[in-house]
Every structure is written in C-alpha cells, then in structure tokens.
Structure 1
C-alpha cells in the first residue's frame, strides 16, 4: 500500500512538471511572437499608414457596393489591394467633364469612340462567341453586323497623352473617367515602389487585381516617363527593383487582354515620350498629342475660365487670345488669376487712401507693387517653349 501511494505521487509530480513545462513554453512563444510583431511594427515606417488604409478600406467597401460593385468581388482583398484603395477616385467626385476641357474637340470625339464606348457598352466589343444569345438576338441587324468585325474594334490596351506641360493631359484623363463612369486609379511611383524586398511586385499585382475587382476602371500613370524610363543594361543604370517592377507590370498588363470584357484601361501622360521604354509604348497603341492650343482653342479656354467671372462690357476675348500665342491652358489660367487680382489692388488702394485721409496711416502697411499692373504677356512667351511646335 505504501509503495503504491509513493508511485502515484511520483507520477502526479511528473505530470505536473510536464504540464508546467508546456505552459511555460507556450507563454514564452506567445511573448516572443508579440515582441517580434512589436519590433517589426516599430521598424516599419508605413505601419501606421497601413492601419489607416485598412480602416478607410472598410468604409470604402460600402461605397463600392453602393456604386454597383458586387460584394463578392471585394472579398479576400490582399493587404496591397487594401493599401491601394486610397488611390481610388469615384466618377461623381471628379469635377472635370468634357465641357471643362477647352478645345481638343477632335481628340475628345476619338477618345469617346476608343475608350468610353468599350467601357460603357462592352457587349459591343466582344466576339460573337463570347456574347450571350439574348444579347445577339436582341441587338438587331446592326449588332449582328458589328459582331463580324468586333475583333477589330476591341478597346486598346493603353492610351498615351503626350505634349508640352500644362496643356491639359491630366484634366483630359479625369474627364474621360467621369464621362465613362469608370473608377479612377491614379498611380505615382510612391504608390508602387517600396524598400521592402518583394513588396513592389505585390503592389503591382494588387493594382491590377483591384482594378479588375472594381471594373470598369482607368489606371492613370501621370508622368509615366518617371516610372517607366527606358531600361538600360549599363552597370549602375537602373536598380533591379525597378526592372522587376516593369516586367511584372507589363506581364499583368498583357494578362488583361485574355478577357476582352475586363473593363480596365491604362492611360499614361508625359511631356517626354522619347524617354519611355519601348515595350511600354507598344502597349499604348493609341497615342494622342495634346499640343499647345491654337487661336480657337485659346478662345474656348478663356471663355471657360471666365464663364462665372464678371468682366467689362468691352472685354475682347479674341484680342487676348491673339496676344497669347504659345500659352498653354495652365498659362492662360495663371494669366486670368493675375488679372483677377487687379480689382483687389484697387480696393486696397482706396482703403489706404481713406485711412490716410482719416489720419490712420500706420493702420495698414504699405503693400503691393507700384506702376501699371495690367497683366501682359511675359517676354519669354513671345514664342512657344523650345521643342514644342505651335
């Protein structure tokens, strides 16, 4: 009896020791895991941004669902996709429409045919074999005739806007997104490049997968030459991460064409088209030169800028357009902004004069520039910027 009791006590002590070791090991592993996460978060400067992006993405899902995006399409989004949702712009939030783009009527009409129609009516731009029987039967003779050549009418992989700075390339892309009702994904180098190994490729994949989830969508690459400069084999010419990102981007870009109803269009804008990689240019078969506005274009831009601004009865828009040869749309906007300051100077001059008459000269410091402040064309605008044709 005594030996049996001693054996039970020893067995119990052994079991307690084993359980204690297991609990201690579990606590140690848990503390190690939490410590590792804390150290990683402290070393990752983007940890706070990722947390904020996750919170914003949760609110964005509701808005995407209200915009007609299927909730099933938003399930299982990766961390990179969530981070890129901050770059999404809804068409109703874009204030720029076709009416805000002065001139460029021929380019706008061609963009409607090349980009807007494929996004708004994708059923017209797919082969008959992929089109539903009801759609083919309900379209009439015109739709059936269109089906015979629909393989030639597919939307281009990409579109390139090039031309001098300030001519409205970015504005045109925004107007295109608004008119087509497509979600707008504005991409900059900082959106895709990361110092962490492999994260740049993950962000690139996340960009295209997110665009496919919320299609129709437009991926806009402003200053595309900065992101896709021509590759070089010279030592030290280009970082390996940049080369891998370009290869990943082009591979995914080609993958979009496997489904002609993808509803994703890539648009690039640049004022240095010669610096862009040739492989990227090949994937942008539709290239539109956005030139400096001609006389009629300058008149249209000035009328748009001054539509809600009170002007003198004898104000001659044509005369202003005639003396602003070589001005871009951005230059004309700055010219109008400068002219709008003239009434403000006149009011302040009258206020100072009244204070001087009342003996309160020191109440307002003397400001402004003396002399004639009438806006006039700068001397360096007597001709278009070098390298830009009129």
Structure 2
C-alpha cells in the first residue's frame, strides 16, 4: 500500500470517528433534553419571563431580554410588576404602626432618593424581616410595600434555586441578584425564609451549604452598595431558626403578631365592608369573642357565616304541593351567623392544637 492510499485511509477513519462523535453528542443532548422532567417547565418559565420583562420595558425600564442568560430568565418567571399587585394598604387593617414605619424607613427613601442622597444613614435597609404567627398578614405587607413604592416584586420560590446538577444552584442564586440589579428598584420576597436560610450545621449537604454561601455573598454586595435599590424581605413564624448571619443582614425586623381586640374589630369591619349584612352587627362584641384569632381565622369565620345564608336559601326554596316558594336573593349576614361561625372556628383550632400554638408562639 503506497503512502497516498494510507493517507486516504487514515483520513477516512478520522472522518468516521468525527461523525460518530458528533452523532453521539447530539444524541446524548437530545436524550437529556427530552428525558429531563423539568425541561418543559423550564421552557414555560422562559416564555413567562419574556412576557413579564417586556411589560417592564414598556413602563420605562429598559431590559435587554436577549442579553439575559437562561438562569436569569428562569428567575424572571417569578417577577411581578407593581401594577399587577392588587394588594394595597387599604386591604390591610390593624397594622397601622407597622405600615407607618415601613413608609418612613423604606418607601420614602426609595421614592425620594434626592432627599437622602447625602446621607448614608438614611438609606433603607437591604434586609427586612417580618416575623410572627401564621395568618397575620406578613405576605400582604410585603406585596403592599412593593405596590406603594412602585418596586418590582420577585416572589421567590426557593425550590427554583435547587437543581439536580452540581453547581447549577449557585448559578441560579447568582442570577437572582444579577436580574434584580437590572430591574431595580426591586423587592425579593422569601416566604418561610427559615426553611431556606435556617441555622447552618455540619449536617448540611455540600451543595446546600455552597448555595447559602453564594446567596449571602451576593447579599453583602447589596449592603455595601449605597446606590442599590434592592431589598430582600423575608417572612417567618420561626425567627429563632434563622442563621445568625442572616439576622445580621436583616436589621429591620417587624413583629406581625396576633391582632388585639381593637385590631380584630378593624379587620372584621374591613372583611365585611362590602358584604350584605344586618345593621345590628356588634363588631366590638365579635372582636372580644374572637380572642386569639389570626387575620386568616377571622376571614374563615366570615366566610363560614356567609355560607350559612346559602343553607337557609336552599332550605327555604323547597317546593311544597300546591304552594311554590321562590327566593331571588340571599338574606344578609346576621350577628348570629358570625357568633356561630366563631365557635366553629374556635373548636377547629382547639381540635388541631393550632390555637395554643399561635397564642404561645416564641417570637420576640
């Protein structure tokens, strides 16, 4: 075999090996894409993210979608424009002191940066902790703050920061902050923050520990940048489970406790303000009767009271022989409905033990 024939043979072998390698690579890539159970969710998240980022661009904030990486697009799927938030301060009752402090410490410095540009001490904190028993309005306060300040709102689902591939979680944690920097002013809200940033221990998985470290490292960058308009807001009913390093980064802490009697009266008036009810409703008596109830308990009580009207409507609408009776509207909510519903909710809370849990919750 001459030299030229040998060269042709070697070239053919190299060509075949290259084709086999290319086909194998494309085949493995195709399998990973179609066998990945989260691939469809990731694609849907990217489509949602593009729509929401375009909405921000239309409102004066220029966001180059084509320059965002895939991790930032996945985080952007949880982005909410302030105009799309329906919760306002008017929808929150019994927390006037907390609302006043938030307006003074957070909202005014964000909306009027020109008043505080020469004072570092007057800048809003980069971390805010809302703590207290469940069902007392912590999430509502976070959304209303973003609405009032006109800040973009990332309602972070912590599960989106976890990935089965090593190193991906750190990239997602970094993408959270790089995206927030591009769309600021922005609030990153983490509900049940204790489940994500709880006290670290040697039993933590290596990937989880690295993700927490990455998260706190980027957070430090926000704290040291006075020009940053990014705030991390967390909510928890177990503040003592949080890592001390996290508590240090959240200097502004607000206790959203169980409503007292005057607060419960305000909450009940707000819930029933647009509902048909009898004029003899004694809100003060209801507030006294619902001692230990959270705001969500009061909402459930009013819902149950409204359902009793439906039961009466169905009972009265029964047809008798030769005498048909029809009713076109539901009767208004009566005081008796509310008192009966209060006892029903109290019994349910006592049965499951949540009543004692809420009234003795260890918060400071």
Q: Is 1:218–1:265's contact at 8 Å kept on the other side of the alignment?
A: yes
TM-score normalised by structure 1 residue count: 0.81
Shift in Å at residue 62 of structure 1? 1.8
Matching of residue 84 in structure 1 with residue 66 in structure 2: no
Q: Is 1:326–1:384's contact at 8 Å kept on the other side of the alignment?
A: no
Q: After superposition, where does 1:1-390 map in structure 2 within 5 Å? A: 24-72=16-64, 74-126=65-117, 147=118, 150-233=119-202, 237-352=203-318, 354=319, 356-357=320-321, 374-377=340-343, 378-379=346-347, 380=350, 385-388=358-361
Moved more, 202-211 or 250-259: 250-259
Count matched residues.
342
Secondary structure of residue in 2 paired with 1:376: helix
User: Given the superposition, is the C-alpha separation of residues 193 and 125 from structure 1 closer, same or farther in structure 2, using an over 3 Å criterion?
Assistant: farther
Q: Distance in 2 between matches of 1:221 and 1:288?
A: 15
Shift in Å at residue 63 of structure 1? 1.2
Structure 2: which 5+ runs fail to align? 325-335
Secondary structure of residue in 2 paired with 1:96: coil
Q: Is 2:290–2:342's contact at 8 Å kept on the other side of the alignment?
A: no
Q: Distance in 2 between matches of 1:213 and 1:222?
A: 23
Moved more, 171-180 or 42-51: 42-51
Structure 1: which 5+ runs fail to align? 1-6, 127-146, 361-371
Secondary structure of residue in 2 paired with 1:152: coil
Moved more, 191-200 or 265-274: 191-200
Q: Is 1:325–1:383's contact at 8 Å kept on the other side of the alignment?
A: no
User: Given the superposition, is the C-alpha separation of residues 386 and 57 from structure 1 closer, same or farther in structure 2, using an over 3 Å criterion?
Assistant: closer
Q: Distance in 2 between matches of 1:190 and 1:389?
A: 27
Shift in Å at residue 389 of structure 1? 8.7
Q: Distance in 1 between matches of 2:281 and 2:174?
A: 54
* Residue-by-residue CA offset, 1:340-379 (whole Å, 9 max, x unaligned): 0111001110123x1x54699xxxxxxxxxxx97323325
Shift in Å at residue 283 of structure 1? 0.3
TM-score normalised by structure 2 residue count: 0.86
Give the aligned partner of residue 137 of structure 1.
Answer: none
Give the aligned partner of residue 333 of structure 2.
Answer: none
Q: Is 2:146–2:153's contact at 8 Å kept on the other side of the alignment?
A: yes
Q: Is 1:291–1:389's contact at 8 Å kept on the other side of the alignment?
A: no
